[in-house]
Amino acid sequence: MITNSVFAAADLVIAELGPPRNGNPAWLNVILGGQTRLAPVVSVALGGSGLYAIFLDGLLVYIGVFVGPALNLRGGSVLRTRWVRHVGTMTMRGQRVSLRANVRSLLAGVGSQPLAALAAAFANPAAALHTPQGMEMAARKVRFAASNWATFSGPIGKTLDRIQFGYLRLGPEDVAGFAKKALLSGRLGAVEKTLVERFRPPLNTAHNPCPLPVTAGVEEVLTAMTEELAKALAGTATAPVSVEETDPADHVLDELPANTLTLADELAAVVGRTAGLILYYTHGGNEIRLGPDTGTRRHERPYLVLRVKKRGGSFRAYSTLPVDEACTLGFKASERHDGTMECTFPVAPGEGVADRLLELCKRAARRA
């Protein structure tokens, strides 16, 4: 059975101000994460596979797909893997925002703000916005944020008050018929494509820059989503169809169980509060990297690599810190000499783990 829920962003998303990353405009400084103290019934409602919609001031701006990890299609968290990151990009305020190459033509010759500041940073090859950090922005998202800049540039809490999320979550009987994640992704992607063509949300891909989006409210959109999803589940289409672009972070976050996603959130937050460090992803990779926020050299030798295990969705860590120092931080480290990394150890979610990983990176930085 499909369940239909609507959430206020202010109830789910945590926002705080931090230092902007190297070379970025000062207003790319909001650290975003998912609320951890949610009622169990809400946490359950945010997991599993389904379709979602994002509304600003009660009007549709985006339609998307979320599919749980391959090992548990009813797991994961649409809040942590999708909605938190959407808030960062649609407002163009997320500290971890990066830009895709197709933004170049949009920024060319622009003299007005905020695009002028963004163009100056984009022209700097050392700026952090060239590094994928989980909040990639295509040109349409930049255009949308700029058109709403009079309010988006203000207090982030006021912006969160204007955002709602709608989620159509598939029931166990709906998911049971799909043996592989790709088959379910294909079915949901086909529905997404149909809905995007119908409503033309301004943050989706297919229609930009025209025609204009259809003005549609929460009830109308969720009713249409429910109808289209029910028809698709009764059909036979299995080709992986989706209008959603892939962010390098998707390869990592989409395969993590809820508790490991919480650790990833906590780690992003503690790194976000720390000047001189950056958390980033690699294209086509299955790992999170932490290293120096030093522009064009940041990819050369990260202090820490967290690689997703193929089974279970936990992390295996690799660090430039020697084994004995990693052990003093409570990690069960062993030697790993490959010319880059000095040690390796398993990482499981738990209280204080993100802080210990941060301290490991700080020690590695002092040795670099």
Over range 311-334, report the average pLDDT: 92
Q: Is residue 249 part of a domain?
A: no
Q: What percent of the chain has pLDDT over 70?
A: 92
Shared domain for 222 and 261, answered yes or no, is no
- Structural contact between residues 81 and 64, judged by C-beta atoms closer than 8 angstroms: no
Number of domains in the chain: 2
- CA 5/CA 281 separation, integer angstroms: 31
> Does one domain contain both 174 and 296?
no
Among 233, 266, 287, which residue terminates a domain? 233
Q: 307 and 173, same structural domain? A: no
Closest C-alpha to 277, from 160, 362, 164: 362
Residue 308 φ then ψ, to 5°: -75, 130
The mean pLDDT of 278-303, rounded to a whole number, is: 84
359: in domain: yes
Shared domain check, 148 and 12: yes
- Are both 155 and 298 inside the same structural domain? no
pLDDT value of residue 295:
65
146 plus 213 within the same structural domain: yes
pLDDT of 353 reads: 97
**Residues 189 and 290 reside in one and the same domain:** no
> Are 61 and 189 in a shared domain?
yes
pLDDT in tens, 134-174: 999 999 899 999 999 999 999 999 999 999 999 999 998 88
CA 197 to chain centre: 24
Does the residue 331 lie in any domain?
A: yes
Considering only residues 259 and 136, tell me which one the structure prediction assigns the higher pLDDT: 136
Interatomic CA distance for residues 351 and 357, integer angstroms: 12
Q: Could you read off the pLDDT of 340-366 as tens digits, one per residue?
A: 899 999 999 999 999 999 999 999 999
Strand partners, 14: 33
pLDDT of amino acid 210 = 47
Mean pLDDT, the chain, rounded, equals 90
Same domain, 193 and 261: no
One-letter amino acid at 54 equals: I
**Which pLDDT score, from 0 to 100, does residue 13 have?**
97
Q: Answer positive or negative: Cα dihedral of 310, 69, 280, 130.
A: positive
Q: Which structural domain range is residue 331 located in?
A: 257-367
Q: Could you give the CA distance from residue 101 to residue 25 in angstroms, rounded to a whole number?
A: 18
Mean pLDDT to the nearest integer, 181-193: 91
Average pLDDT over residues 310-321: 86
State whether 201 and 133 are in the same domain.
Answer: yes
Domain with residue 351: its CATH number is 3.90.1150.30
**Does residue 219 register a pLDDT over 60?**
yes
Given a contact cutoff of 8 angstroms between Cβ atoms, the answer to whether 166 and 219 are in contact is no
**Are residues 98 and 162 both part of a single domain?**
yes
Q: Please report whether residue 242 resides in a domain.
A: no
**Residue 209 in this model has a pLDDT that exceeds 70:** no
